[in-house]
Amino acid sequence: MAEAIRRWTGPAAWTAALAVLAYTALHHMLTMPVAAHAWNDTYVYLEAAQRFLAHPAHLYDGALAQLHRATAQNAFLYPPLGILPFLALVPLQHAAGMPLAAGVWTVVDTVALAAAVVLFSRRAGCSWALSGVVLLIAALSLPAQWEINSGQVDGVELLLLALSLRHAERAVSGVWLGLAVAFKPIAVVVLLLPLLRRQPQVAAVACGVALAVNAVWIPFLGLPVASEYLTRVLPFTMFSVVHDPNNISLATRLQDILGGVQVTKRTPAGFAVPHPVDALALLWTIRVLTLAVWARTVTRHGVDDVTALAVTLATVPLLAATLWPHYFLFLLPLGIVLIRSPLVAARIAAWAGLTLTVYRWRSEVLWVSVPVLWCAALAATQGERMSARIATPAHAH
């Protein structure tokens, strides 16, 4: 009986995971807003691609307007490489409408997200059956549901980061890291990871690629627009706290708890978040400690490249100024790595942390997974406990 259960667990988990992802993507495609200017993140990318083709110098007009708004606007805020895949969808948008073009992207991003989860699982040493279970949890999780239903691009971002592991410690891995940062700089700290792990060639390639693939757009944008993006829009994207109830960043949580005033869309633009001095001091204390613990962990003897990257991505919730629920996707790799830890307590914590992401009714619950997984990671990486468990998927059991 036990053998039969083990035999059918894998196929059942894979079937359920793919069914959940397919249903979520299809439901999103069928309920896509019809109005071109309705709120949908894919529409923002498609409109930016269309604007670039018509008037390249106006790509960041919406972004410059966002600088004077405290609430999120329909504006493209990311490096120009971010619109590259959407340029190919503009003809389809003109021929069949924006919802269909956005639906195609939904399929692309959903497939990329599934591939990223599986790649992380296999590189962490999970069997195909266990990878199916992990994919099922990821598919059911609030971050994945939010990612697909909002039409975001983090599935592709995670896939680029996961692909870097296929060539770990080789310069070519820097190409994938550089592309990931250039596409959406939500986890810029990954550029420092190769330096800390004494892989200067990888770091040089990553930084070079990230700069080069965006620099080639300067002749089209014009130097003034490129300069405005680099000096004004990019810092705003990385360091500004958007006033929105769905922004569940550490800054807004501390504002709620210590400031006594919840950040809403009606909060004045000049209202600093977090507002009280003690909340601001605590915020930066946590951020500095996060970076210190991260640097110590990824340089610890015996910590392999999969674990190092997973710990690095887990800094996103703690460092991001604006944190939407789908950004917690960057926490999943750490949970995946920890379920293969030799430490029983770490494995239990990993399953608990991953399972907590499935709770959908209050996005703040996602924060419970952060200390659970970080404490498990610190326990597991002491000494040589987290030595390279499985180097390639071929050794997975």
Q: What is the pLDDT of residues 7-42, one digit of tens each?
A: 778 889 999 999 999 999 999 999 887 765 667 899
Phi-psi region of 307 (alpha: psi -120 to 50; beta: other; left: phi over 0): alpha
What single-letter amino acid sits at 108?
V
Judge contact between 297 and 377, C-beta under 8 A.
yes
Q: Is 291 exposed, middle or buried, given 0-12, 13-18 or 19+ CB atoms closer than 10 A?
A: middle
Q: What is the pLDDT of residues 362-386, one digit of tens each?
A: 899 999 999 999 999 999 987 444 4
Sequence-ordered list of residues with C-beta below 8 angstroms from that of 383, at least 6 positions apart, any chain:
302
Predicted local confidence at residue 390, as pLDDT: 37
363 is in which domain, residue-wise?
2-395
Six-digit token string for 76: 């493209």
Q: What is the pLDDT of residues 208-223, one digit of tens each?
A: 999 999 999 999 999 9
Our count of domains for the chain comes to 1
From residue 312, alpha-carbon distances to 112, 193, 194 in Å are 20, 7, 11
HEC letters along 316-356: HHHHCCCCCHHHHHHHHHHHHHHCCCCCHHHHHHHHHHHHH
pTM given for the model: 0.91
Provide φ and ψ at 64, rounded to 5°.
Answer: -65, -35
Convert 298-331 to b/e letters by CB count within 10 Å (16 or more is b): bebeebbbbbbbbbbbbbbbbbbbbbbbbbbbbb
State the angle between helix axes of 128-140 and 2-30 in degrees (0 to 180), rounded to the nearest 10. 40
